Structure 1
Amino acid sequence: MSPTATIVLIVVILLVLAAIVFGVRAARRRRLQQTFGPEYDRVVADTGSRTEAERELLERKKRHAQLELKPLSAQSRAKYSAAWEEVQIRFVDSPKEAVATADELVTRLIAERGYPTGDYDERLADLSVEHAATLEHYRSAHEISLRSKNDEAETEDLRQALVHYRALFADLLGADPVAAGTAVPAPRPATEDTTATDRTAPTEPDATSR
Structure 2
Amino acid sequence: MTTFAWVAVVVVAVVALAAVAYFVGQRQKRSSHLRERFGPEYERVVSERDNRREAEEELRAREERLKELDIRPLPPETRDSYAARWTEVQERFVDAPMFAVTEADQLVTSVMAERGYPTEDFEQRLSDLSVRHASTLDHYRTAHEISGRAARKEASTEELRQAMVHYRALFEELLQETTRGR
TM-score w.r.t. the length of structure 2 is 0.94
**Superposed displacement of residue 69, structure 1:** 0.9
Q: Give CA deviations for 1:151-179 in whole Å, capped at 9, x if unaligned.
A: 1101100000000000000000018xxxx
Farther off after superposition, 148-157 or 166-175: 166-175
Displacement after TM superposition at 1:85 (Å): 0.4
Q: 1:25 aligns with which of 13, 27, 30?
A: 27
Give the equivalent residue in structure 1 for 2:180: none
Instruction: Quote how far apart the aligned CAs of 1:2 are.
Output: 2.3
Unaligned runs of 5+ in 2: 178-182
Q: Paired residue for 2:136?
A: 134
Q: What are structure 1's unaligned runs of at least 5 residues?
A: 176-210
Root mean square deviation, CA, Å: 1.0
Between the two proteins, the alignment pairs up a number of residues equal to 175
SS at match of 1:76: helix
Sequence identity (%): 51
Q: What is residue 41 of structure 1 aligned with on the other side?
A: 43
Query: RCO greater where, 1 or 2, for CA within 8 Å and sep 6 or more?
Result: 2
* SS of residue in 2 equivalent to 1:93: coil
Counterpart pick for 1:113 among 115, 138, 152: 115
1:33-112, aligned counterparts within 5 Å?
Answer: 33-112=35-114
Distance 1:123 1:93 in 2: 30
SS of residue in 2 equivalent to 1:117: coil
TM score, norm. by length of structure 1 = 0.82
1:48 Cα deviation (Å)? 3.3
1:11 equivalenced with 2:22 (yes/no): no
CA distance in 2, matches of 1:38, 1:117: 22
Paired letter, 1:81: A
3-state DSSP class of the match of 2:73?
coil
